[in-house]
Structure 1
Amino acid sequence: MTEITHITDETFERQVLARKGTVLVDFTAEWCPPCHMIKPVLAQIADERSATLTIHTIDTDENPTAVRDYKIMSQPTLLLFRDGQLLRTLVGARSKAKLLAELDAALQG
């Protein structure tokens, strides 16, 4: 099983912005029910796409700098990066099929 790494304001640049390849960052909060709903979906995608996609999670309550910098207003918010560049912002929980379709469309475009 592929581990989804927890990152912080201090590790965000190194783990996301300076990283080559595709990275999905899940902005989440412990108190957020939709965040808990999408967690198993992200775990499945992390396993299936481990060769081409890295998934990280960041707690919005503990990391105000990233929240401010990316204007996170709702949880979960997913940010998709390629080679450190933001490609797409997805707000809210969704099914695995819908999330994969949105990720694939963003990566092809």
Structure 2
Amino acid sequence: MAVKVLDFWATWCPPCNVMKPTIEELEKEMAGKVEFVKYDVDQQGEITQKYAVMSIPTYIIEKDGKEVARASGVRSKEEFKRWVEENL
């Protein structure tokens, strides 16, 4: 799949836990168009450093292996979906 949403999160992060159901719903709704990849910053530190993630939750959209957009924090489902669709 050419478009990925990278989700950097942690179990102890309240905003990450708020976004979790939204991400899971969008993962189902956008199946076939977008691949969602989750990275636990505590377990996958090398990847977190590679992408220079400084706060969580952070979301990175990659298109054909290149970063095209980055966002962090809590967003509504509609706002998040619109952001992803704008970067397809």
* TM bin (shorter chain): over 0.9
TM-score normalized by the length of structure 1: 0.76
Name the % identity: 28
Quote the residue 2:38 is aligned against.
57
- Alpha carbon RMSD of aligned pairs, Å? 1.0
Gaps of 5+ in 2: none
The TM-score with structure 2 as length reference comes to 0.93
Q: Aligned partners of 1:103, 1:50: CA distance in 2, in Å? A: 13
Gaps (5+ residues) in structure 1?
A: 1-19
Structure with greater contact order relative to length (CA < 8 Å, sep ≥ 6): 2
Q: How many aligned residue pairs are there? A: 88
Q: Work out whether 1:22 is the aligned partner of 2:10.
A: no
Computing the radius of gyration from Cα coordinates, the structure with the larger value is: 1
Detail structure 1 runs of 4+ shifted over 6 Å in the superposition.
none
CA distance in 2 between partners of 1:78 and 1:94 (Å): 11
